[in-house]
Homo-oligomer: A and B are copies of this chain.
Amino acid sequence: MPTQRQADPSAGTGSRIDARTQRSRATVLAAATDLLESTGVGGFSVDEVARRSGVAKTTIYRHWPTREALVLDACAGLDDRYDLPDTGTLHGDLRTFVADLVRMVEQAGWAAVLPSIVDAAERNAAFADMHAQIQKGHASLVSQIAERAIGRGELPAETDTALLASTVLGPVFYRRWFSREPFDAAFIDAVTTRAIRGAQGSD
């Protein structure tokens, strides 16, 4: 899921976990993320992660006590670091963001997994929490673009950024996961223009 690039907080802190354990964890997580991309949350099994990674199930369960804990960590591995555009105009920023988002929902591994997370979130609090985090990340990208535009006087100070996020992310997500119609530049332009027009006009 697109989140902003951040420094890795664990880097260079002299972790006490020994190197071999760390390598085995990384191998398991990489296999788990690959598996998740092909099966979604529903088809994910620790047996298959063990088979793919060559790491014994007992070892896997030492690090992740439950299937759910491993799925949740594997979801974090789907992260798609993203540099927010800064073109100097609301239209430029939003057009670039929508085009980048379209490319990601069409191509990124997490795009095939997200519906299974949304489904799991309907019934499971841990997945609901994780989905809320992913979602906050998406919405905050739109909010940051909006706040810069407010600073430049391109949007009114009282702009409802949550509503703006609904009108930007909603049509893109709808087309990817619901209508499954192809994306094109005209769609990207129209979503951008209509979201801006909506936020600038009074309802």
Q: Report yes or no: A163 in contact with B187, Cβ–Cβ below 8 A.
A: yes
Nearest CB on B from A172, distance (A): 8
The copy count of this chain in the complex is 2
Task: Choose, from A19-27, A52-60, A191-199, the stretch at the interface.
Answer: A191-199
**Residues of chain A from 38 to 55 with CB closer than 8 A to chain B in the complex:** 39-43
In the complex, what residues of B have CB within 8 A of residue A172's CB? 170
Q: B178–A135 contact, CB under 8 A?
A: yes
| SS of A interface (majority) | helix
Q: Given the complex, which residues of B lie within 8 Å of A135, measured CB to CB? A: 178-180
Instruction: Name 30 A/B residue pairs within 8 A (Cβ), A-sorted.
Output: A39-B123, A40-B119, A42-B42, A42-B116, A42-B119, A112-B122, A115-B115, A115-B121, A115-B122, A118-B119, A118-B177, A138-B178, A139-B179, A162-B179, A162-B181, A166-B174, A166-B179, A167-B191, A169-B174, A170-B171, A170-B172, A170-B173, A170-B174, A170-B175, A173-B178, A174-B174, A189-B203, A194-B203, A197-B198, A197-B201
Q: Which A residues form the contact surface with B (CB < 8 A)?
A: 39-43, 112, 115-116, 118-119, 121-123, 128, 131-132, 135, 138-139, 160, 162-163, 165-167, 169-175, 177-181, 186-187, 189-191, 193-194, 197-198, 201, 203
